[in-house]
């Protein structure tokens, strides 16, 4: 060990505080807190350290800096702020929320309520951040509709009211504001409106409805019918809003559900906010790690990850509930609970559900959201890093394909009540249609409408050459249909002796993806670009098959009808059909027909389709 490090380790104090590890360039690579700095820092340099992450960190430490604090809570807050500021390599770092908006209630006698991305420690209240901007705008629309909160930007005080500095605007005359600028509503009454807005933003809508119902009854008793009518309208609007919030628990407790998903250096977390038993919000967090949770069996790393999520999420302008439900109890849980309880003003607790319950079910839903968010993070990284279109790499990852699906061949059958059965094959290369490689198939061996048998024939005909080594197999084979069509295609490929191929089926009804050997279908999010690509393939194969089927059926029907006319041969029929549709031929005058087939033949065709007129002449 380096001499300067040895000296510092020997002189470490037995006090709470922050320690920072620096590399050879003087850059902070890790920030930690400790109840006892001497014991905690020295533990990194023991010979029996078995964590690869810790070993890698220690090998790069060239210096140590300390900050002494009065207690562990103070150390926790300082550690959080330093990690946000310095973003050390070996700490788990949360993506900054600066890009997300908040709803701000300004700190002034008659507060304003408006969206902002600039959070200032000026005594104002902030709600958010809103990762879903639509959700934020919906909340603001509700506030503007129900509560008469001013929309002007003036700084209104008792002094400005007395001096009559500001005049009533249109909002007052259309009953969207009570006119605080001219003192038409007292500071106390306006403050009550703001308190009601805060209850809505905290998800306490049902509590507010109960309060307003009491006020309405009191107004009726005092014969203040106009006020009672205003309260009644406000209650009805809040009830509509409340009814749209999903009830997820039978009790009315406030709780947050936190779940994380991680792989390598990527980690994502989802926080579900439940207030009075209703799901009122969802927050997605993006984290980066130094391979801190790459080994999912390392429970200490998972506990550290959850500890980091709790510290970052509840550090700023976030309401703290009584219960926080997680998959694993965070590292330093006692200190975190003490810190959270101090911030909230009441006792908080962590819950890690083991048995199936409402809490466990909510945790499972939360986990699915965090897994989906993690996939989105990884797909965005692929998009930036690779030359292959990101949707192709995403498709391989989503379905666990053996090959990168740069060339995809998709098949579809088409027949009408068993007549003129045909099939199509469309080809996409790097996510785009390659029309020069499209193929049409006339079904030869199948009688009647048998999709499964038709699929077997087409697959066998298409890949007979590839299995003989004359052509390469595509990276992915796709069939339009569910289990039956997929099984038929696999049966044909096995008959040919095909190996090392990927194949899937896409069923139309619920957009379910079927994979070989799996009983249950694979579901992809409706908004996923992967599903959009597969739908494009399926729809293109369907269009190509339908077009070919119509051409064959129309040609057969129309040509047969014209050949029924005595004196009209096959060549003449084809000449007519190349210039006009069958309906145009039926309605055409002799002069028009004669321009194509001559006067004599034109009269024969005209007479055939106008027998009544001819007979009456």
pLDDT for 55 beyond 50: yes
Q: What is the pLDDT averaged over residues 507-520? A: 87
Q: What 8-state DSSP symbol labels residue 430?
A: T
Distance CA 31, CA 414 (A): 65
Q: What is the pLDDT averaged over residues 57-70? A: 89
- Looking at the fold, whether 115 and 227 belong to one and the same domain comes out as yes
Burial label for 607, CB within 10 Å (0-12, 13-18, 19+), is: middle
Structural domain includes residue 312: no
pLDDT for 535 beyond 80: yes
CB 521 within 8 A of CB 514: yes
Side by side, which strands form the sheet with 28-34?
28-34, 17-22, 63-68
pLDDT interval class at 47 (50, 70, 90): low
Radius of gyration of the chain (CA): 36
CB 506 within 8 A of CB 533: no
Lowest mean pLDDT among 49-53, 80-84, 165-169: 49-53
pLDDT at 117: 83
- Looking at the fold, whether 404 and 545 belong to one and the same domain comes out as yes
Lowest mean pLDDT among 77-81, 242-246, 485-489: 242-246
Distance CA 181, CA 214 (A): 29
Structural domain includes residue 475: yes
**Cβ-Cβ contacts under 8 Å for 498 (sequence gap 6 or more):** 463, 466, 467, 473
Structural domain includes residue 125: yes
pLDDT tens digit string along 566-615? 888 877 887 887 777 777 888 888 888 888 888 988 888 888 888 644 43
pLDDT interval class at 1 (50, 70, 90): low
Lowest mean pLDDT among 9-13, 183-187, 291-295, 317-321: 291-295
- Residue 496, domain extent: 395-550
Which one, of 553, 577, 550, lies nearest residue 605 by Cα? 577
CB 62 within 8 A of CB 24: yes
pLDDT for 150 beyond 60: yes
Structural domain includes residue 384: no
Distance CA 315, CA 97 (A): 12
Q: What is the pLDDT averaged over residues 499-519? A: 89
Which one, of 254, 161, 146, lies nearest residue 203 by Cα? 254
Structural domain includes residue 203: yes
- Looking at the fold, whether 79 and 44 belong to one and the same domain comes out as yes
CB 428 within 8 A of CB 478: no
- Looking at the fold, whether 229 and 266 belong to one and the same domain comes out as no
- Looking at the fold, whether 47 and 113 belong to one and the same domain comes out as no
Query: What does each C-alpha distance from 360 to 29, 255, 300, 324, 610 come to in angstroms?
Result: 37, 13, 22, 12, 78
Structural domain includes residue 389: no
pLDDT tens digit string along 209-225? 888 899 899 889 888 88
Among positive and negative, which fits the CA dihedral 240, 245, 251, 252?
A: negative
3 state SS of 17: strand
pLDDT interval class at 53 (50, 70, 90): confident
Structural domains in the chain (count) = 5
Q: What is the CATH number of the domain that holds 439?
A: 3.30.420.340
Structural domain includes residue 588: yes
pLDDT at 323: 93
pLDDT at 230: 85
Highest mean pLDDT among 490-494, 548-552, 599-603: 490-494
- Looking at the fold, whether 130 and 204 belong to one and the same domain comes out as yes
Q: What 8-state DSSP symbol labels residue 329?
A: P
pLDDT at 469: 64
Q: What is the CATH number of the domain that holds 284?
A: 3.30.420
pLDDT at 579: 78
pLDDT at 459: 94
pLDDT at 300: 63
- Looking at the fold, whether 133 and 230 belong to one and the same domain comes out as yes
Q: Which two tokens stand for residue 597?
A: 């087939």
- Looking at the fold, whether 108 and 179 belong to one and the same domain comes out as yes
Structural domain includes residue 314: no
- Looking at the fold, whether 276 and 204 belong to one and the same domain comes out as no
Axis-axis angle for helices 205-221, 187-201 (nearest 10): 140
pLDDT tens digit string along 360-396? 888 998 998 888 888 877 777 665 655 567 788 889 9
Virtual CA dihedral for 502, 505, 511, 515, nearest 10 degrees? -60
pLDDT for 315 beyond 80: no
Distance CA 521, CA 534 (A): 15
Distance CA 502, CA 577 (A): 44
pLDDT for 462 beyond 90: yes
Lowest mean pLDDT among 344-348, 519-523, 559-563: 559-563
pLDDT tens digit string along 102-145? 889 999 999 999 998 888 888 888 887 777 778 788 888 888 88
Q: What angle do CA 164, 169, 174 make, to 5 degrees?
A: 135
Q: Where are the alpha helices (DSSP H) in 179-332?
A: 187-201, 205-221, 225-243, 299-313
Q: Which two tokens stand for residue 257?
A: 């559900």
- Average pLDDT over the chain reads 84
Q: What is the CATH number of the domain that holds 70?
A: 3.40.1440.10
């Amino acid at each position: 060990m380096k001499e300067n490090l040895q000296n510092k380790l020997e002189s470490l104090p037995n006090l709470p505080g922050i320690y920072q590890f620096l590399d050879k360039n003087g850059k902070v690579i890790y920030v930690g807190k400790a109840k006892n700095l001497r014991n905690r820092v020295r533990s990194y340099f023991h010979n029996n350290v078995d964590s690869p992450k810790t070993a890698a960190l220690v090998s790069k430490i060239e210096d140590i800096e300390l900050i002494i604090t009065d207690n562990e809570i103070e150390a926790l807050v300082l550690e959080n702020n330093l990690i946000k500021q310095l973003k050390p390599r070996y700490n788990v770092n949360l993506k900054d929320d600066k890009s997300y908006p908040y709803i701000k209630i300004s700190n002034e006698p008659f507060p304003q309520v408006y969206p902002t991305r600039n959070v200032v420690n000026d005594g104002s209240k902030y709600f958010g951040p809103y990762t879903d901007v639509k959700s934020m705008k919906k909340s603001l629309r509700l506030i503007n509709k129900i509560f008469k909160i001013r929309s002007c930007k003036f700084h209104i005080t008792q002094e400005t009211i007395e001096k009559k500095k500001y005049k009533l605007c249109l909002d007052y005359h259309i009953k969207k504001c009570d006119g605080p600028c001219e003192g038409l509503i007292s500071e106390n009454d306006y403050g009550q409106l703001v308190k009601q807005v805060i209850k809505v933003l905290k998800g306490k809508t049902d509590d507010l409805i109960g309060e307003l119902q009491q006020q309405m009854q009191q107004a009726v008793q005092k014969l203040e019918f106009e006020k009672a009518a205003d309260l009644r309208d406000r209650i009805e609007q809040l009830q509509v809003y409340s009814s749209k919030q999903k009830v997820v628990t039978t009790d009315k407790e406030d709780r947050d559900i936190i779940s994380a998903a991680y792989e390598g250096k990527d980690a994502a977390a989802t926080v579900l906010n439940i207030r009075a038993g209703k799901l009122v919000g969802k927050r997605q967090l993006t984290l980066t790690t130094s391979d801190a949770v790459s080994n999912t069996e390392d429970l200490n790393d998972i506990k550290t990850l959850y500890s980091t999520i709790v510290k970052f999420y509840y550090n700023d302008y976030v309401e703290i509930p009584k219960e926080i439900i997680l998959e694993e109890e965070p590292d330093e849980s006692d200190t975190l609970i003490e810190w959270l309880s101090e911030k909230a003003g009441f006792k908080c607790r962590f819950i890690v559900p083991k048995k199936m319950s409402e809490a466990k079910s909510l945790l499972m839903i939360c986990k699915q959201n965090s897994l989906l968010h993690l996939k989105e993070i990884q797909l965005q990284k692929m998009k930036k890093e690779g030359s292959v279109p990101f949707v192709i790499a995403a498709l391989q990852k989503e379905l666990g394909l053996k090959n990168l699906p740069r060339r995809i061949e998709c098949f579809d059958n088409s027949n009408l009540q068993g007549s003129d059965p045909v099939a199509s094959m469309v080809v996409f290369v790097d996510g785009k249609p390659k029309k020069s490689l499209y193929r049409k198939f006339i079904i030869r061996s199948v009688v009647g409408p048998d999709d499964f048998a038709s699929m077997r024939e087409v697959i066998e005909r298409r890949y007979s050459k590839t299995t003989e080594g004359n052509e390469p197999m595509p990276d992915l084979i796709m069939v339009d249909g569910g289990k039956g069509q997929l099984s038929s295609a696999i049966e044909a490929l096995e008959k040919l002796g095909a190996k090392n191929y990927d194949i899937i089926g896409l069923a139309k009804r619920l957009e379910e993806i079927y994979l070989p050997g799996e009983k249950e279908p694979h579901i992809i999010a409706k908004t996923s670009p992967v599903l959009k690509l597969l739908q494009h393939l399926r729809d293109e194969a369907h269009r190509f098959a339908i077009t070919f089927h119509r051409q064959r059926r129309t040609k057969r029907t129309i040509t047969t009808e014209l050949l029924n006319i005595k004196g009209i041969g096959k060549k003449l029929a084809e000449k007519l059909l190349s210039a006009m549709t069958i309906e145009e031929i039926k309605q055409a005058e002799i002069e028009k027909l004669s321009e194509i087939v001559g006067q004599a033949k034109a009269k024969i065709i005209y007479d055939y389709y106008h027998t009544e007129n001819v007979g009456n002449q």
